[in-house]
Amino acid sequence: MPVRTALRAGVVAPTLPVPKAIERPEYAWKATVQEGSEPWVQTPEVIEKMRVAGRIAAGALAEAGKAVAPGVTTDELDRIAHEYMVDHGAYPSTL
């Protein structure tokens, strides 16, 4: 079996800015989110918003995916996805 080098601690990049005009989700300012035990039945309006959010998230992943190459850092991929989300008026959540 090949010998592998030990992992080294890295540097956490600063948090990227989010324009004030973009609405923050509940978890953006709370340490924990209260979870319910009952399923949520969504209205047609909420379901449509979820579809839009899914399309934006898919677009962000596709843009970041185009930049994947040896030597490209995860910070750079994060920046690309972050900018895509913000440019589309969405809060850049963890993907």
pLDDT in tens, 8-51: 888 889 999 999 999 998 778 777 777 777 888 999 999 999 99
Count up the domains in the chain and report the number. Answer: 1
- Write out the two tokens for 7: 């992992």
What local confidence, expressed as pLDDT, does residue 82 receive?
Answer: 97
Q: Decide if 86 is inside a domain.
A: yes
Q: Decide if 32 is inside a domain.
A: no
End-to-end CA distance of the chain: give it in Å, rounded.
34
Q: Decide if 24 is inside a domain.
A: no
Q: Decide if 79 is inside a domain.
A: yes
The pTM assigned to this predicted structure is: 0.79
Q: What confidence category does residue 95 fall into, taking pLDDT thresholds of 50, 70 and 90?
A: low
Q: Count of alpha carbons within 13 Å of 38, Cβ hemisphere only?
A: 3
Q: Contact 63/80 with Cβ under 8 angstroms?
A: yes
Q: Decide if 82 is inside a domain.
A: yes
Rounded CA gap, 90 and 87, in Å? 8
Q: Decide if 55 is inside a domain.
A: yes
What local confidence, expressed as pLDDT, does residue 30 receive?
Answer: 78
Domain range for 58: 50-63+71-90
Q: Decide if 7 is inside a domain.
A: no
